[in-house]
Amino acid sequence: MASTSFCRALRSTRTYATAASKPIQAPIQLQGLSGKYASALFTAALKKDEKILSTIEKDVTSFQKVLSGKDGSSIKEFLQNPTLQAADRKKGLSEMFGKFTSPPNELTKNLLSVLAENGRLYETEKVIDDFLSLMSAHRGEITITITSAQPLDSSLQTRLESTLKKSATAQGKTVKIKNNVNAGVLGGLIVDFGDKTIDLSVSSRVNKLNALLTESI
């Protein structure tokens, strides 16, 4: 059974009071199930101290490396399997914890245990991504994700970074550019930053054209 403190954090992810009644809350508000779990983990860790928060970040980063390593495919299969019985999930978690580069913090274990108990291990990778987004925001960073059909060349990436740094959303923050490659966009760019999305992709224009043609038939 996951710890009651983590479960309480999960039920109320927005604000937590310390002994000095100073509120603790996530630096940005995330949406969806994964955002709820990530925010609960962040606030539960920060309620303890910054050192624990840093330890949790190392845990989830370590787990990301495991997922991209030689055992990644089998672990992902385990996470995505909705038919596993509780005993099998518990055994799988125990084996998974052994894959970490060092023993994970109890809060990290509690997160995965709660996901398992609720039948939501399939959300694990999204929760990790959301938690790392919270950590970036906590450090005053903003990650701008640019999706393109092909990798951006360095000159274009530099120009985009310079332009995006001037936006109101990026003011006073350290800007980090992440380039996702997706052939499905066909051409152009999709830019995600903060709660904004700018879709300049060819696929978007094609979809709009198809919709117009469908309506006119």
What pLDDT shows up at residue 6? 63
Question: 1-26 burial by CB neighbour count: b if 16+ within 10 A, else e?
Answer: ebeeebbebbeebeebeeeeeeebeb
- Give me the average pLDDT of each 10-residue run along the chain (217 residues): 59 46 78 93 94 96 91 93 90 90 93 94 95 91 87 87 80 83 89 80 78 65
What pLDDT shows up at residue 5? 57
Q: Looking at the chain, which runs of residues are DSSP E strands?
A: 16-17, 23-24, 141-148, 174-181, 188-193, 196-201
What pLDDT shows up at residue 157? 85
The model carries a pTM of: 0.70
Residue 138 is given by DSSP the state: H
CATH no. for 4-137: 1.10.520.20
User: What are the CA-CA distances from residue 208 to residues 143, 174, 203, 214 (Å)?
Assistant: 28, 35, 9, 10
What pLDDT shows up at residue 3? 58
What pLDDT shows up at residue 16? 42
Q: What is the separation of C-alpha 111 from the centre of its chain, rounded to a whole number of angstroms?
A: 14
Residues in the chain: 217
What pLDDT shows up at residue 13? 45
Q: What angle do CA 188, 151, 193 make, to 5 degrees?
A: 65
Under 8 Å between Cβ of 124 and 92? no
